[in-house]
């Protein structure tokens, strides 16, 4: 090893970063070379000056306070999570508790309910049992013929089938029945054109919890990218809402359409927060699409956050 190479290794020698062979070669050289020994001393002096900056130690009590705050935050987060889980079963629980409180009245009430159910059910069956009156080929569709039987003595044929009727329902957008139908159409109907029209109508009431739920469902689950994009546009005024942000993060991390992911970044950046940094860093690291990755990186820079994930 020549002096130049030795001198460039001295720093790493003092940092204990040389392997055994390099260390031995350097130490052998130092034994015979005054120039390099002088350099070693200078480097030691430099590092000792730098290390004169003493370490800060957390003041007494700070660690305990941090632990306490942390455990309290975790406890609170868990409580919230459990409450939200319990909330889903609350109506069932309330009904069960009310039912138990009825005591001796339970049997007569149950019997009355059964009778009422039988009566209402019977009315429905009755209308189906008389297809002549109900069926009109112009406004009904037969979806399934399940049985055909002939009574030879009476000369009667009996056909069992399911009937679909086309009906019209009209009302303004505030009408709860209309809204219910629209929400059902958004979530269930197979024609993407209908779903898009439905979004167009629902978007003005996106602040309503049920409407928002339907729009976010479409945003996260619809197979048609055009419908998803329309759903995304419909919630853009709610970009700071926690539910919407969660849905947008889901789009950013799981939607296979790059255009959707870019739109999600734009909307999420309307209310940038620290939790978004982690999401963007994760996407920036895994994203295959150069443009989306670049937009993530730009967003992180805009938030003065690191682009890389460590």
Partner 1 sequence: MESRPVLSPTDVALIRAAQQGDHDAFEELVRLYDQSVLRLALNLLRSEEDARDAYQEAFLKAYRNLGSFRFECSFHTWLYRIVTNICLDQLRRKSVRKEGSPVLETEQGERDLFDTVEDRRTEADPERDLIRRELGRRIEEALARLSPRERMVFELKHQQGLRLRAIGEMLSTSEETAKNCLYRATQKLRAALA
Q: Which residues bind partner 1 (CB under 8 A)?
A: 11-12, 15-17, 46, 49-59, 62-63, 65-67, 69-71, 73-74, 77-78, 274, 277-278, 281, 304-306, 308-310
Give the Cα separation of 264 and 245 in Å (integer). 9
Cβ 24 to partner 1, closest distance in Å?
A: 19
**239 contacts 205 by C-beta, under 8 angstroms:** no
* Cβ 56 to partner 1 shortest distance, Å: 5
| Residue 263 Cα distances to 51, 192, 254, angstroms | 49, 20, 13
Beta carbons of 134 and 127 less than 8 angstroms apart: yes
Closer of 74 and 113 to partner 1 (Cβ):
74
Cα dihedral across residues 233, 235, 237, 243: positive or negative: negative
- Least distance from C-beta 4 to partner 1, angstroms? 16
Q: Shortest gap between Cβ of 81 and partner 1 (angstroms)?
A: 11
The CB-of-278 to partner 1 minimum distance in angstroms stands at: 7
Output 50 or 123, the one with its CB closest to partner 1. Answer: 50
Of 140 and 307, nearer to partner 1 (C-beta) is 307
When the beta carbons of 28 and 69 are compared against partner 1, the nearer one is 69
For partner 1, the closer CB: 258 or 282? 282
Distance CA 250, CA 220 (A): 7
Cα(155)–Cα(149) distance, rounded to whole angstroms? 11
Cβ atoms of 24 and 54 closer than 8 Å: no
Helix (H) or strand (E) holding 52: none
Q: Which of 230, 181, 224 has the alpha carbon at shortest distance from 203?
A: 230
User: Could you tell me the smallest distance in angstroms from the CB atom of residue 126 to partner 1?
Assistant: 55
The Cβ-side half-sphere exposure at 18, using a 13 Å CA radius, reads 17
- Cβ proximity to partner 1, 55 vs 153, nearer residue: 55
Of 114, 102, 168, nearest to 139 by C-alpha is 168
């Amino acid at each position: 090893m020549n002096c130049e190479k030795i001198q460039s290794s001295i720093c790493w020698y003092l940092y204990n970063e040389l392997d055994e062979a390099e260390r031995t070669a350097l130490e052998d050289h130092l034994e015979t070379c005054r120039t390099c020994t002088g350099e070693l001393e200078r480097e030691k002096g430099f590092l000792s000056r730098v290390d004169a900056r003493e370490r800060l130690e957390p003041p007494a009590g700070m660690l305990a306070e941090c632990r306490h705050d942390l455990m309290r935050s975790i406890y609170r987060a868990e409580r919230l999570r459990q409450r939200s889980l319990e909330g889903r079963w609350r109506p069932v629980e309330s009904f069960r508790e009310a039912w138990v409180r009825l005591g001796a009245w339970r049997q007569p009430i149950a019997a009355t309910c059964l009778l009422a159910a039988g009566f209402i059910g019977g009315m429905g069956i009755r209308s189906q049992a008389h297809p002549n009156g109900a069926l009109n080929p112009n406004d009904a569709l037969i979806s399934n013929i399940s049985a055909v039987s002939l009574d030879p003595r009476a000369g009667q044929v009996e056909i069992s089938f399911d009937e679909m009727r086309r009906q019209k329902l009209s009302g303004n957008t505030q009408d709860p029945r209309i809204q219910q139908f629209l929400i059902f159409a958004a979530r269930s109907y197979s024609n993407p054109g209908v779903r898009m029209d439905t979004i167009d109508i629902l978007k003005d009431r996106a602040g309503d919890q049920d409407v928002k739920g339907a729009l976010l469902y479409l945003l996260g689950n619809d197979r048609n990218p055009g419908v998803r994009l329309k759903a995304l546009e419909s919630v853009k005024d709610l970009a700071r809402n926690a539910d919407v942000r969660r849905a947008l993060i889901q789009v950013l991390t799981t939607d296979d359409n790059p255009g959707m992911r870019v739109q999600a970044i734009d909307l999420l950046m309307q209310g940038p927060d620290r939790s978004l940094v982690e999401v963007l860093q994760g996407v920036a690291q895994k994203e295959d699409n150069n443009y989306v990755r670049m937009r993530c990186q730009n967003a992180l820079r805009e938030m003065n956050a690191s682009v890389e994930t460590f």
